[in-house]
Amino acid sequence: METAFNIRRRIEQVRKEIPEHVEILGAAKTRSMEDVRAAYEAGLKYFGHNYVQEAQAMIPGLEIDAKWHLIGHLQRNKARFAVELFDMVESLDSMRLARELEKRCSELEKKMPVLIEVNSGREENKTGIMPEEGVLLAEWLSGQKYLHLAGLMTMGPLTGDPEFARPFYKETRRLFEEIERQKFPNTDMKVLSMGMSNSYKVAVEEGANLVRLGTLIFGPRET
Ligand SMILES: *Cc1c(COP(=O)(O)O)cnc(C)c1O
């Protein structure tokens, strides 16, 4: 487990390296409640979980005034719990999931901001919407009562070299601007979530205003 001191030191370090308008989301998968509390006390306001089950075991018990984002693939049979737990779904990766989320949100009468997850590398085995399909999904979302589009998220192909990710971030930014230009109703394009521990600097250069950091602030994952 990481000491609170190390977590605070790392967050302060990253904060110095990125512009003020860029928010940091702590990717909390496999982390302890103590680690997340330490990051919150060091100033982080956004946290992400990949799995509903892990989130259920952490969010209600932690009682901190943070915003919780779902950042992992959501199975449709867990959509109801996701709607209850999260403040934003960043990983909206299919039309079918969008329909299911709209239905669950309407049952709970809860509005939910979502980001379209873009498969910017057009990888067959990856989740996410192909860039060509982004505008269509954005248009569909603009007609819904409970979901509303707040921006885009992408992972990009995972490699060691952050420069390799740059064209995929550029492509996601292009789609972001294209959707903005449509001026769809019920749409507020404000979040561009790109970049992880090894690639956040490149992502910020390409327009990210939310970076999702795990290893860099919490240390290496044990699993
Ligand atoms: C784990 C994870 C991150 C953070 O990864 P690190 O390399 O540990 O910073 C960001 N986004 C998603 C979707 C993740 O699953």
Q: Could you tell me the domains of the chain?
A: 4-218 (3.20.20.10)
Spatial separation of the C-alpha atoms in residues 14 and 59, rounded to whole Å: 25
CB 25 within 8 A of CB 193: yes
**pLDDT for the residue numbered 223:** 59
What integer pLDDT is reported at residue 1 of this predicted model? 54
pLDDT digits (tens, 9 = 90+) for 125-181: 999 999 999 999 999 999 999 999 999 999 998 888 999 999 999 999 999 999 999
Residue 80 has pLDDT above 60, yes or no: yes
How many angstroms separate the Cα of 64 from the Cα of each of 32, 45, 52, 170? Answer: 14, 9, 18, 35
Give the pLDDT confidence score for residue 117 in this predicted structure. Answer: 98
State pTM to two decimals.
0.97
Contact assessment for residue 12 and residue 34, using Cβ atoms and an 8 Å cutoff: no
The CA distance from 213 to 218, in Å, is 8
Query: Ligand 1 centroid to 191 CA: how many Å?
Result: 17
Please tell me whether residue 99 adopts helix, strand or coil conformation. Answer: helix
| For ligand 1, mutation pick of 30, 46, 71 (most atoms within 8 Å of CB) | 71
**Among candidates 204, 202, 200, 203, which has minimal Cα distance to 216?**
200
Specify the pLDDT at position 222: 74
Write the residue with the smallest CA distance to atom 7 of ligand 1: 197
The H-or-E segment that residue 118 falls in is strand 112-118
Q: Whose CA is nearest to atom 13 of ligand 1?
A: 71
Q: Give me the residues paired with residue 47 across strands.
A: 26, 68
CA quadruple 106, 108, 114, 117: dihedral positive or negative? Answer: negative
What is the C-alpha separation between 194 and 37, in angstroms, rounded? Answer: 24
Whether the per-residue pLDDT at 67 is higher than 60: the answer is yes
